[in-house]
Homo-oligomer: A and B are copies of this chain.
Amino acid sequence: MTVVEYDGRIVVVDTGLMFPTAEMHGIDLVLPDFSYLRDRADDIEAIVLTHGHEDHVGALPYVLREIGIPPKIYGGLLTIGMVRSKLDEHKLGEKAPLQELPAGEKVKHGPFQLELVHLAHSIPDMRGVLITTELGSMLMTGDYKFDQTPVDGRPADVPRLAEIGRDGLLLLCGDSTNADRPGVAPSESSVGPALLQEFSRCEGRIVVTSFASNIHRVQQVIDAAVALDRKVALVGRSMRKNYNIASNLGMAKAPQGLFIQPREIEDFPDEKIVVISTGSQGEPLSALRRMANNDHRDVQLHSGDTVVFSATPVPGNERAVNETIDRIYEIGATVITAKDAPIHASGHGWQEELKLMLNLTKPRYVMPVHGDHKRLRLHSELAHDVGIDPANVFRGRNGLPLEIDENGARFGEDIHAGVMYVDGVNIGEPDDAALRDRREISADGIFIVVATVSSDDGSVVADPEVIFRGVAFLEEADALVEEMSDLIEDLLEDASKAGNREPHLIEEDLHDAVGKFVFQRLRRRPMILPVVVEV
Asked if B461 and A535 make an inter-chain contact with CB atoms under 8 angstroms apart, the answer reads: yes
Residue of B nearest to A325 (CB): B374
Q: B470, A441: Cβ atoms under 8 Å?
A: yes
A529 and B469 within 8 A (CB): yes
Confirm or deny: A264 has a beta carbon within 8 angstroms of a beta carbon on chain B.
Answer: no
Q: Does A338 contact B (CB under 8 A)?
A: no
Query: How many Å from the CB of A448 to the closest CB on chain B?
Result: 6
- Determine whether A322 belongs to the interface, using a CB cutoff of 8 Å to chain B: yes
Question: Which residues of A pack against B, CB within 8 Å?
Answer: 21-23, 25-27, 315-316, 318-319, 322, 325-327, 329-330, 335, 372-374, 377, 421, 423-429, 432, 434-435, 437-439, 441-446, 448, 450, 452, 461-462, 465, 467, 469-475, 522-524, 527, 529, 531, 533-535
Q: Which of B23, B377, B426, B523 contacts A425 (CB 8 A)?
A: B523
A426-B522, A452-B452, A470-B434 known; A373-B442 Cβ under 8 A: no
Contacts of A529 in B (CB 8 A): 448, 467, 469
Mind listing 11 A-B residue pairs with CB under 8 Å?
A21-B319, A26-B445, A26-B470, A315-B318, A316-B319, A423-B472, A423-B473, A424-B444, A434-B469, A465-B531, A533-B533
Contacts A329-B374, A424-B524 hold; do A446 and B472 have CB atoms under 8 A apart?
no
Complex Cα spacing A438 to B446, Å: 9
Q: Is the CB of A425 within 8 A of B522?
A: yes
List the B residue with the shortest CB-CB distance to A526. B26
The 6 tightest CB contacts between A and B, nearest first, are A428-B473, A442-B442, A426-B473, A26-B443, A423-B472, A22-B22
Closest to A377 in B: B329
Q: Report Cα–Cα, A297/B533, bound state, in Å.
A: 47
Name the distance in Å between A16's Cβ and chain B's nearest Cβ.
19
With A442-B441, A522-B425, A535-B452 as given contacts, are A330 and B373 in contact (CB-CB < 8 Å)? yes
Residues of B within 8 A of A372 (CB): 322, 326, 329
Do A26 and B474 have beta carbons less than 8 Å apart? Answer: no
- Across the interface, A472 reaches (CB within 8 A) one of B318, B435, B471, namely B435
* Inter-chain contact B25/A442, CB cutoff 8 Å: yes
A434 to B468, CA, bound (A): 9
Instruction: Contact check, B533 vs A450: say whether CB atoms are below 8 A apart.
Output: yes
Nearest chain B CB to A421 CB, angstrom units: 7
A340: nearest residue on chain B (CB-CB)?
B180
- List of B residues within 8 angstroms of A335 by Cβ: 374
Please, which residue of chain B has its CB at the minimum distance from the CB of A378? B329
Residues of B within 8 Å of A434, CB to CB, are 445, 469-474
* Smallest CB separation, A366 vs chain B (Å): 18
CB neighbours of A322 from chain B (8 A): 315-316, 372
Query: Which residue of chain B has the shortest Cβ distance to A320 in the bound complex?
Result: B316
Choose one: B374, B429, B473; the contact of A326 (CB below 8 Å): B374
Complex-state Cα separation, A10 to B428, whole angstroms:
58
> Is the Cβ of A450 less than 8 Å from the Cβ of B531?
yes
Q: How far is the CB of A535 from chain B (nearest CB, A)?
A: 5
Bound CA–CA A27/B443 (angstroms): 7
> Separation in Å of the A237 CB from the closest CB of chain B?
20
With the chains together, A470 CA to B469 CA distance in Å?
A: 14
Residue of chain B at shortest CB distance from A426: B473
A496 to chain B, nearest CB (A): 16
A377, A434, A443, A473 interface centre (most CB from chain B within 10 Å)? A473
- Tell me the bound Cα distance from A522 to B424 in angstroms: 7
A429 to B475, CA, bound (A): 12
Which residues of chain B are near A27, meaning CB under 8 Å? Answer: 472
* Cα A269 to Cα B473 with chains together (Å): 53
Q: Which residues of B contact A448 (CB under 8 A)?
A: 448, 529, 531
- Cα A446 to Cα B423 in complex, Å, equals 14
Q: How far is the CB of A327 from chain B (nearest CB, A)?
A: 8
CB distance from A251 to the nearest CB of B (A): 34
Taking CB atoms, residues of chain B closer than 8 Å to A523 are: 424-425
* List of B residues within 8 angstroms of A330 by Cβ: 373
Q: Could you say which residues of chain B place their CB within 8 Å of the CB of A424?
A: 444, 472, 522-524
User: In chain B, what residue has the closest Cβ to A332?
Assistant: B377
Residues of B within 8 A of A373 (CB): 326-327, 329-330
Residues of B within 8 A of A442 (CB): 25-26, 438-439, 441-442
Given A372-B329, A475-B426, A522-B424: A533 and B316 interface contact (C-beta under 8 Å): no
A439, A448, A533 — most chain B CB neighbours (10 Å): A533
A397 to B: closest C-beta gap in Å: 9
Question: Which residue of the partner chain B has the closest CB to A464?
Answer: B533
Q: Which residues of B contact A377 (CB under 8 A)?
A: 329
Check A432–B26 contact: CB distance below 8 A.
no
Find chain B residues with CB under 8 A from A426 CB.
472-475, 522
A23 to chain B, nearest CB (A): 7
Q: A448-B448, A522-B425, A523-B424 are in contact. Are A462 and B326 (CB under 8 A)?
A: no
Bound together, the chains give a CA A462 to CA B533 distance in angstroms of: 7
CA–CA, A375 to B153, complex, Å? 41
Contact indicator B435/A441 (Cβ below 8 Å)? no
